Amino acid sequence: MSAAAVALRVVLLFMWMVALAGLAAERWWVAELLVSLRVQQMCVLVPFVLVLCVARVSGRWRLSAVLLLCWHLWWLRTAWLAEGPSGDVVSSAVELTVCVSNVQADNPDVESVLGSLRDCDADVIAVLELTRALRIRLSGEFAEEYPYFLWEEREPGHFGIGLLSRLPIRSSAIVNYRLPSVPSIEAVLELPGGGGVQLIATHPRPPMDAWQHRMRNEHLDVLADRVSELRGSGGFPVIVMGDLNVTPWSPTFGRLQDRGGLWSVTAGGGLEPTWYQRPGFLYGLVLDHVLHTDGLRHLRRRILPGNGSDHRSVVVEFQLD
C-alpha cells in the first residue's frame, strides 16, 4: 500500500471521529463547535470523496467516505425541507414583518447600520448588541417611523438589546432567562383589527467554553419553557427572534423547537449564512433565527446585505394563519 493511500485512510478516520464527536454536542462544548462547522466539514469532504474515487483506495474506504457524506447531509436536511404553516399571500389576512439585526457592538460603520435598519422596512426590529451611542441615534432618528422603542443597555454593549416597533405595544418586560447580564425582551404587539402577537427578542451567550455552553443551553431551555407556557395560556401566537448562537442542525436547536412547540423559518431556506461570511473563514454559520408557534405562517425570509457587522440581518414576513 502506498504512503498516499495510508494518508487518505488516516484522514478519513479522523473525519469520522470528528463527525461522531458531534453526537455529544448538547453536553460537550467542543462537540458543539464541531456540529456548528458541519457545512465546513462537507466542503472538505466532497473534494476528498472525489480524490478517493481516483486514488488507489479499496472500495470499502470509498463507501465509508460516501456514507460519511450522507451522514452530514442527513443533519443538514432541514436546510432544504420547509416546515410549519406557510403559503401564498391572502389579501384579507393581517400581515407582519419582523427583522432581527445583530449590529456588532464595536462596529465602526454606524451609518451603514442605520441605513440597513431603515431599508429593511419591518414593522418591528430587534437590535442586538445595542450600545448607548447607537441607542441615542435610534431614539432620535427613528422616533417618527418607530414611535415604540424598548431597550436594555449593556456596556460595552455585547448583550445590549432593543426593540423598535411601528405597532403599539400592549405590554412589555425585560427578562433574564439565565443570566442578569444577558437580558431579553418580551412584548405583546397590537395588530391591526385588534389582534396581537407575543414577541420575544433574545441573545444567549456563545458556547465558546464549557461554562458558556452550559449557560447557552440553559438559556434556551428556559426560553422554550416560557414559549410553552405562553402557548398553554391560549393567548396570542409567539415569535422568537435573535442571534441564538446555535446552528439549525444542532440537536440543541431541535430541543428548543420540540420543547417550545416552535417552527423555524430557516428550514427550507438553504444554507446561506448569517454570521462571519468573510475571507479566511470558509462559508460562515447560520446563527440568526426567527421561530414561531401555530397561528402564524411565514411567507418569505430574506437575508440582507452586510452593514459592517459580522452578522447579517434577517427579515421575515408573516401572516396571521
199 pLDDT exceeds 90?
yes
pLDDT digits (tens, 9 = 90+) for 26-65: 889 999 999 999 998 988 888 888 887 776 667 788 888 8
For the beta carbon of residue 179, count every other beta carbon within 10 angstroms: 14
Q: E strands of 112-237, at which residues?
A: 124-128, 148-152, 161-165, 169-175, 184-190, 196-202
* Residue predicted with more confidence, 203 or 60: 203
Phi-psi region of 287 (alpha: psi -120 to 50; beta: other; left: phi over 0): alpha
Give the SS3 label for residue 209: coil
Phi then psi for residue 78, to 5 deg, are -65, -15
- Residues 204, 183: Cα–Cα separation, whole Å: 9
- Residues 212, 206: Cα–Cα separation, whole Å: 6
What single-letter DSSP state applies at residue 272?
A: -
Instruction: Extract the C-alpha cell encoding 36.
Output: 456548528
Question: Averaged over 256-275, what is the pLDDT?
Answer: 92
Instruction: Judge contact between 21 and 34, C-beta under 8 A.
Output: yes
195 pLDDT exceeds 90?
no
Query: Which segment, 24-28, 45-49, 124-128, 235-239, is predicted with the most confidence on average?
Result: 124-128
277 pLDDT exceeds 70?
no
280 pLDDT exceeds 90?
no
Band (pLDDT 50/70/90 cuts) for residue 223 is very high
Q: What are the angstrom distances between the C-alpha of 167 and each of 4, 114, 178, 199, 227? A: 64, 20, 29, 12, 21
What confidence score (pLDDT) does residue 63 get? 85
178 pLDDT exceeds 90?
no
